[in-house]
Structure 1
Amino acid sequence: MSHVLPTLPHRAAALGPVLPLVAVVALLALPPTGDGAGPADVVSALVVGYCVLRLVRERRRPLSPRAVVVLGLPVVGSALAAMGAGSAAAGIGGMCRYLQVFVLVPLAVLVLLRGRADFRVLAWSFVGLALWQGAVGVRQYVTGTGASYQGETIRAVGTFGAQDVMGMATAVSLGVVCAAGLALGRAPRWQRAAAAGCAVLLLLPLALSFSRGAWIATALTCGVQLALAGLRRALKVGAAVIASAMILMGGFGVGTAMLQERIDSITQVADTPDQSVVDRYTLWAAATGMWREQPLTGVGLKGFPEYRDRHATLALSSGSDIEGAGETYHKQALLSPHSMYLLVLSEQGLIGLLTLAGSWLALLVCAVRGLLRVRRGGPGLDCALVACGLLLWQLTDFVYGDIGGPSTVLTGMALGLTAWWAFPRDERPDTTRRGEVPGRLEEAVAR
């Protein structure tokens, strides 16, 4: 007992740096406050500022040269695109957003996380947010107070509202990915069982989000996680998920005609696409037209809305219908191509796409290499599966989605978790912090 008690204050102190990151995730449970920066965005900026002050005060370099190059690549493309923006305000605003999501917030996560224990705490906060948003979304579906979908206010959108119909789908999907990774690791059985239960529960609100893109990205990511965890475990978990889905879809009456129609529409995007798919194809074509006009540097940050009508055909509708979840009926203009890759290509050109996508691919390669090192018995398999899964989900979702809205800060947090795993602590310079206890106690805290 005397040997264990002295470690308790150190364990409590070890959670200190991760708590501001957990606060950023927790603030996304609040309803949006308006069109400006939300509470989570404001706190994420404060966390970045805190990291800068802390590093200056302690005079240390927490990043390896490889991490600096990989995470710093997006700065090049966004800076060039900012100089080509239609106005200084648009250029500065767009660059700040890109730097926040793809550079600064991931760096803050990389700096503040001390070990695998902190990583798991932050991953569980993703699951907690998903459970809360999912519960709100299911209630919206049951009570008919959600966003409008085919004339009925049944679409689950959580606290994000009808203005950001993808917000809840993103939060729930990332929660599923984190829960799946935690369940497939080597933690105590009760922790793995709890994570698996959370993943199954989150399938219901994910289905009720009616988001085809989130379904595809989540199914692909969880399938890869299962395959990486081992074939035998993949078969067992896959059978359990299928059984759970059958119960949810059939036994509880979740398999409505609308949901079935939405599922069927995934295979009809080429033959008989609905208007949302037609709009997306038209916006994609407009984005590629802008790229052909300025192939290297694009039309400038936040330039897509200005150039859209020059390149879009008459097939593009006037906007998407917004109603329900506290919103009165109105049209929302389609001001992005709904594809992150095409948005970057049109506004930042080849230079921007190569730097941004190159950063993501390098991050994925480093994370997968780390996963392969621990797959056969090393510590941290759950962290590896979560880190690789989060980035894979983002890369898949970016095919038919882009950044925007309060949930965007989750993208930066997810990239930070991936970066922490991709760049091991032992390859960073000056890793010993002031007041930190070295040796076995530090490793015990990290576990």
Structure 2
Amino acid sequence: MSLPTARGVSPVLPVVAVVALLGLPLPSGGADGGATPADLASALLVGWCALRLLRQRRRPLSRTAAVVLGLPLVGLAVSAAGALSPTAGFTGLARYAQVFVLVPAAVLLLIRDRRDARLLAWAFVGLAVWQGAVGVHQYATGTGASYQGQPIRAVGTFGPQDVMGMAGAVSVGLICALGLALGRGPVRQRAVAAGCAAVLLLPLALSFSRGAWIATAVTCTAQLALAGVRRALAVGAVAAAVGVLLVGGFGVGSALLQERVASITRVTGAPDQSVTDRYALWTAAAGMWRERPLTGVGLKGFPEHRDAHASLALSSGSDTEGAGAAFRRQPLLSPHNMYLLVLSEQGLVGLVALAGSWLALLVCAVRGLTRSRRSGPARTGLDCALVACGLLVWQLTDFAYADIGGPSTVLTALTFGLAAWWALVGAREPGDAGDVVPRDAGRRAERVVTG
């Protein structure tokens, strides 16, 4: 029995709606804690997916998908049991399960085929263009977050308390656009995607987010290499030319960007305070892990144990203001490194379980991309493969400079869901209407389903 929906209406539309909610401006202080509209919508998404499965009476996930997506729960259960309080353990378990298990599984199950995957990828591009447009306006009008005493930092609708939010959204959209452009879809679609990718370089630069820059550069290089050497050289030359034009037109902004880029490698000579704080937090996380190597200090335990392991170089917090928010001192409650956060709070058990799940997805996604490239001149599904592999590479690289937290965290869950669909389901499907297939191709085989 199926849900009484019109034929042809995609079940992925609720996922697109969650993406759209990430574009709404948050009230002042909305990033301090509590559920955002996107958080609530993601919970409803999981519930609606579960109801849909009950109505259809089918097995939700294949055995492989259940193991790969459910693996993080092993470390989470152990770490939650060792938390400082039952409340901290429960809230931490719920948040991790939301981001890395429940929402990705719901997205995987709601994507029917590659057309749905492309629709979701375009939704990410749309979110990036919107957030980027807001960010560029903030820079041009001096209404952004404070950066070196000037209200010019582009943060989109996420506000200064989540300065990485817009950078993450723009990076995800750029990666999706590049993947769609490098595929074998209609020429007009690829041209629009390439244009979107080029346009998104500007707001990404104005985010002044070093971690997002590094992760995006690594990911785009990987996507281009996977798409083919010739295309990599051509697109790389165009991207370099666009970058020179953008930076050359910044004026004062070019000096700020050059200083920001130079600070990436200035970690021993004269690092700025943000770099000093970052390394002090990393040292504190490593100290917690050495104290409890197997199970860590427990979920939500990093803030409580930070001062006991941090050096005197760590400041009391970071100053945030601008973009509609008043000045405030924001405490440093995480190491800003997902791997070290998991290692300190969940120990080796948690890190092996969580990172093992991510690596399994990446391996499956790359294998699917390899099969797609071997499918002949058509290369059916190449765009979906490049998008999925790109999202995983970007996320795993960015986790070296950031962790979960803030209103943009739901976006992380959605990207893992799209990547998991390709890795565990989509790579095994035959071509569809969105693929360019040979004229002599036979009838389309029966679509592989998760069950």
Deviation at 1:318, TM superposition (A): 1.1
Preserved CA contact (<8 Å) 1:364 1:391? yes
1:418 maps to which residue? 419
1:403 maps to which residue? 404
The 5 Å alignment of 1:367-378 reads: 367-376=365-374, 377=376, 378=379
Q: Deviations over 1:175-230 (max 9, x none)?
A: 01000000000001111110000000000000000000000000000000000000
The 5 Å alignment of 1:263-274 reads: 263-274=261-272
1:225 maps to which residue? 223
Q: Deviations over 1:365-396 (max 9, x none)?
A: 00000000011333100000000000100000
In the alignment, the residues of structure 1 paired with residue 6 and residue 127 of structure 2 have an alpha-carbon distance, to the nearest angstrom, of 23
2:437 maps to which residue? none
- Larger mean Cα displacement after TM superposition, 363-372 or 245-254: 245-254
In the alignment, the residues of structure 2 paired with residue 379 and residue 252 of structure 1 have an alpha-carbon distance, to the nearest angstrom, of 41
Secondary structure of the structure 1 residue equivalent to 2:84: coil
Establish whether residue 17 from structure 1 lines up as the match of residue 11 from structure 2: yes
In the alignment, the residues of structure 1 paired with residue 212 and residue 89 of structure 2 have an alpha-carbon distance, to the nearest angstrom, of 30
CA shift in 2, pair 1:151/1:252, >3 Å: closer
Preserved CA contact (<8 Å) 1:29 1:132? yes
Deviation at 1:253, TM superposition (A): 3.7
The 5 Å alignment of 1:279-428 reads: 279-376=277-374, 377=376, 378-424=379-425
The 5 Å alignment of 1:207-226 reads: 207-226=205-224
Q: Deviations over 1:314-345 (max 9, x none)?
A: 10011001110111111100000000000000
In the alignment, the residues of structure 1 paired with residue 144 and residue 250 of structure 2 have an alpha-carbon distance, to the nearest angstrom, of 19
2:184 maps to which residue? 186
Q: Deviations over 1:2-38 (max 9, x none)?
A: xxxxxxxxx9733430110000000000012423111
Establish whether residue 200 from structure 1 lines up as the match of residue 198 from structure 2: yes
Preserved CA contact (<8 Å) 1:14 1:114? no
Secondary structure of the structure 2 residue equivalent to 1:148: strand
Using structure 1 for the length normalisation, give the TM-score: 0.92
In the alignment, the residues of structure 2 paired with residue 369 and residue 89 of structure 1 have an alpha-carbon distance, to the nearest angstrom, of 41
Amino acid in structure 2 at the alignment position of 1:408: T
Secondary structure of the structure 2 residue equivalent to 1:159: coil
RMSD: 1.8
In the alignment, the residues of structure 2 paired with residue 48 and residue 190 of structure 1 have an alpha-carbon distance, to the nearest angstrom, of 35
2:274 maps to which residue? 276
Q: Which runs of 5+ in 1 are unaligned?
A: 1-10, 429-438
1:5 maps to which residue? none
Aligned mate of 2:101, from 88, 100, 103? 103
Secondary structure of the structure 2 residue equivalent to 1:160: coil
In the alignment, the residues of structure 1 paired with residue 428 and residue 200 of structure 2 have an alpha-carbon distance, to the nearest angstrom, of 37
Amino acid in structure 2 at the alignment position of 1:411: T
Aligned mate of 2:154, from 143, 153, 156? 156
Deviation at 1:87, TM superposition (A): 1.1
Q: Which runs of 5+ in 2 are unaligned?
A: 430-442
What is the count of residue pairs matched by the alignment? 424
CA shift in 2, pair 1:425/1:136, >3 Å: closer
Deviation at 1:62, TM superposition (A): 3.4
CA shift in 2, pair 1:426/1:14, >3 Å: farther
Preserved CA contact (<8 Å) 1:15 1:118? no
1:131 maps to which residue? 129
CA shift in 2, pair 1:426/1:248, >3 Å: closer
CA shift in 2, pair 1:331/1:252, >3 Å: closer
Secondary structure of the structure 2 residue equivalent to 1:322: strand
- Larger mean Cα displacement after TM superposition, 240-249 or 116-125: 240-249
